[in-house]
């Protein structure tokens, strides 16, 4: 009986030995190396690549003008390219890849930056390095611990590494056009600790700042401009411009409108396109004195290429109107595009500028076509009476 027990014990030991060896063999075959069993260490964090711009690289394209003459355009390459680059660093931005160097890293089961788990590819793991992507959700700022932690089957190690604030990103803003002093709401990501907001080159006052929303006051002098935001993480510029996509009048008529190089103006009214006071913005506005109860500011287009709604992405007509002599608060103007008199009106205020925005969908029967005439018609105001119009265009 004792021999049987002894035989079974030897058999069990042999099975365990074979199974253990087989398991170890499978693990090492999968990794391609035998992981160290000591406590992990980190000797440094390295970049893998860097972003560079080679402005000497160019592309050429040839087009033909209306006379059949070829025109060649050379464009410089200002798009950043990623190139291999190994540099020892102590900080980095979310979304970037790094190589963590050290010892006994082969059995790594987790990597965190300021407590947020980071992705690493086990297939790229070695006992001396980990290729890791710093998560975009890793917290940043002076309140953070600046700690990189690697955990293996045999322990963990901390390393001082600062997560740098990534650059901001603008997704939208509203309204798309406004008066000086109005609040503009800019939505996006990583607006933390914004230091500057500009419309073109004009700085705006920041009155509210969260990670995803900026509130600023529109500065004077802005008709159309791209919005630029600067934070500790960098600077970004909006893809779309704030303000008008097409202007008929700002401080002067656009060429082709109202008799300025084409077109016409009228009717039953006296019109001055160079009025100096009052103005909503800039140095000039349009003064219109109605000589009849249904007099109007009529501006027609006579240039070579009328603005196309679809091509320019136009959604609404926008203008500012001031109720002058003879105008009562509540008096109305009918807004007409391309002769479509459908009764859409806006109300005026005596002695004050009013911002008016009317969707083109309520004014045009063909909202994908061109715009060749704009009319602002009195709806029974006193005769004579005067209105002032400024910054007339489309957004």
pLDDT in tens, 328-379: 999 999 999 999 998 799 999 999 999 999 999 999 988 889 999 999 999 9
Which string of DSSP letters, residue by residue, matches 176-198? Answer: SS--TT-EEEEEEE--TT--EEE
Q: What percent of the chain has pLDDT over 70?
A: 88
Q: What is the mean pLDDT of residues 188-196?
A: 95
Q: Is residue 29 part of a domain?
A: no
Contact residues for 25 (Cβ-Cβ < 8 A; gap 6+): none
> How are beta strands 162-164 and 91-93 bridged, if at all?
parallel
CB 387 within 8 A of CB 335: no
End-to-end CA distance of the chain, in Å? 98
CB 289 within 8 A of CB 270: yes
Going by pLDDT thresholds of 50, 70 and 90, the confidence category of residue 67 is low
Instruction: For residues 148 and 239, state if they share a domain.
Output: no
Helix (H, G, I), strand (E, B) or coil at 28: helix
CB 388 within 8 A of CB 287: yes
Question: What residue has token string 């029967």?
Answer: 365
Contact residues for 253 (Cβ-Cβ < 8 A; gap 6+): 259, 260, 273, 299
Instruction: For residues 173 and 117, state if they share a domain.
Output: no
Q: Is residue 16 part of a domain?
A: no
Check residue 338 and give its pLDDT. Answer: 96
Please check the confidence at residue 68 and state whether its pLDDT lies above 90: no
- Residue 379 has phi, psi (to 5 degrees) of -115, 60
Q: Which has more confidence, 63 or 117?
A: 117
Instruction: For residues 113 and 173, state if they share a domain.
Output: no
Q: Which helix or strand (DSSP H or E) is residue 146 part of?
A: none
CA 288 from chain centre, in angstroms, equals 39
Q: What is the pLDDT of residues 207-251, one digit of tens each?
A: 999 999 999 999 998 888 999 999 988 999 998 889 999 999 999
Q: Is residue 204 part of a domain?
A: yes
C-alpha to C-alpha distances, 89 to 99, 100, 159, nearest whole angstrom: 10, 10, 12
Compute the CA torsion angle 219, 174, 311, 392 (nearest 10 deg).
Answer: -50
Show which of 243, 265, 293 is a domain's final residue.
243
Q: What is the mean pLDDT of residues 99-112?
A: 97
Check residue 9 and give its pLDDT. Answer: 44
CATH code, domain with 257: 2.60.120.260
Instruction: For residues 114 and 209, state if they share a domain.
Output: no
Please check the confidence at residue 10 and state whether its pLDDT lies above 60: no
Please check the confidence at residue 29 and state whether its pLDDT lies above 60: no
Q: What is the mean pLDDT of residues 153-178?
A: 94
Please check the confidence at residue 140 and state whether its pLDDT lies above 60: yes
Check residue 224 and give its pLDDT. Answer: 87
Q: Which has more confidence, 350 or 75?
A: 350
Going by pLDDT thresholds of 50, 70 and 90, the confidence category of residue 77 is low
Going by pLDDT thresholds of 50, 70 and 90, the confidence category of residue 76 is low
CB 163 within 8 A of CB 230: no
Alpha-carbon distance of 247 to 241, in angstroms, equals 13
Q: Is residue 187 part of a domain?
A: yes
Q: Is residue 259 part of a domain?
A: yes
Going by pLDDT thresholds of 50, 70 and 90, the confidence category of residue 293 is very high
Show which of 243, 258, 283 is a domain's final residue.
243
Instruction: For residues 214 and 350, state if they share a domain.
Output: no
Instruction: For residues 303 and 219, state if they share a domain.
Output: no
Burial, 209: exposed, middle or buried (Cβ in 10 Å; 0-12, 13-18, 19+)?
middle
Q: Which has more confidence, 8 or 45?
A: 45
Contact residues for 58 (Cβ-Cβ < 8 A; gap 6+): 74, 75, 76, 77
Check residue 78 and give its pLDDT. Answer: 63
Instruction: For residues 252 and 385, state if they share a domain.
Output: yes
pTM of the model: 0.64
Instruction: For residues 384 and 370, state if they share a domain.
Output: yes
Core vs surface per residue 58-75: b (16+ CB within 10 A) or e: eeeeeeeeeeeeeeeeee
Mean pLDDT for the chain?
A: 88
Instruction: For residues 266 and 351, state if they share a domain.
Output: yes
Check residue 178 and give its pLDDT. Answer: 86
Q: Which domain holds residue 253?
A: 246-394
CATH code, domain with 94: 2.60.40.10
Instruction: For residues 368 and 293, state if they share a domain.
Output: yes
Q: What is the largest CA-CA distance in the chain?
A: 127
Q: Is residue 10 part of a domain?
A: no
Q: Is residue 219 part of a domain?
A: yes
Please check the confidence at residue 271 and state whether its pLDDT lies above 70: yes
Alpha-carbon distance of 131 to 47, in angstroms, equals 10
Q: Is residue 28 part of a domain?
A: no
Domain count along the chain: 3
Please check the confidence at residue 286 and state whether its pLDDT lies above 50: yes
Closest CA to 275 of 317, 322, 335: 322
Show which of 184, 219, 243 is a domain's final residue.
243
Helices (H), the chain: 2-31, 309-312
Q: Which helix or strand (DSSP H or E) is residue 244 part of?
A: none
Alpha-carbon distance of 36 to 107, in angstroms, equals 8
Please check the confidence at residue 16 and state whether its pLDDT lies above 70: no
Instruction: For residues 363 and 384, state if they share a domain.
Output: yes
Instruction: For residues 252 and 319, state if they share a domain.
Output: yes
């Amino acid at each position: 009986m004792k021999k049987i027990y002894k035989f079974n014990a030897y058999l069990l030991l042999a099975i365990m030995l074979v199974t253990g060896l087989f398991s170890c063999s499978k693990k090492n075959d999968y990794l391609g190396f035998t992981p160290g069993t000591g406590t992990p260490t980190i000797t440094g964090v390295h970049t893998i690549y860097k972003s560079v711009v080679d402005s000497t690289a160019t592309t050429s394209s040839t087009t033909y003008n209306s006379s059949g003459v070829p025109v060649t355009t050379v464009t410089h390459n200002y798009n950043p390219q990623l190139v291999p680059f190994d540099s020892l660093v102590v900080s980095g931005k979310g979304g970037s890849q790094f190589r963590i160097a050290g010892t006994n890293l082969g059995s790594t089961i987790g990597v965190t930056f300021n407590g947020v788990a980071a992705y690493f590819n086990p297939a790229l793991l070695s006992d001396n390095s980990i290729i890791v992507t710093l998560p975009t959700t890793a917290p940043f700022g002076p309140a953070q611990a600046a700690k990189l932690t690697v955990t293996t089957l045999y322990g963990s190690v901390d390393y001082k590494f600062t997560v740098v604030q990534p650059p901001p990103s603008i997704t939208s803003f509203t309204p798309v056009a406004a008066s000086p002093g109005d609040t503009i709401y800019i939505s996006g990501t990583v607006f933390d600790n914004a230091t500057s907001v500009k419309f073109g080159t004009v700085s705006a006052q920041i009155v509210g700042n969260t990670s995803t929303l900026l509130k600023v006051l529109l500065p004077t002098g802005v008709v159309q401009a791209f919005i630029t935001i600067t934070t500790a993480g960098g600077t970004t510029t909006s893809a779309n411009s704030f303000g008008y996509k097409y202007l008929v009048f700002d401080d002067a008529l656009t060429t082709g409108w109202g008799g300025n190089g084409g077109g016409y103006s009228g009717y039953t009214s006296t019109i001055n396109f160079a009025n100096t006071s009052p103005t909503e913005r800039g140095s000039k506005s349009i003064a219109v004195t109605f000589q009849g109860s249904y007099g109007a500011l009529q501006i027609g287009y006579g240039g070579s290429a009328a603005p196309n709604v679809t091509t320019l992405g136009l959604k609404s007509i926008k203008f500012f109107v001031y109720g002058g002599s003879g105008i009562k608060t509540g008096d109305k103007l009918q807004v007409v595009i391309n002769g479509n008199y459908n009764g859409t009106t806006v109300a005026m205020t005596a002695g004050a500028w009013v911002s008016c925005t009317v969707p083109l969908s309520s004014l045009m029967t063909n909202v994908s076509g061109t715009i060749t005439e704009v009319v602002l018609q009195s709806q029974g105001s006193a005769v004579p009476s005067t209105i002032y119009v400024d910054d007339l265009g489309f957004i």
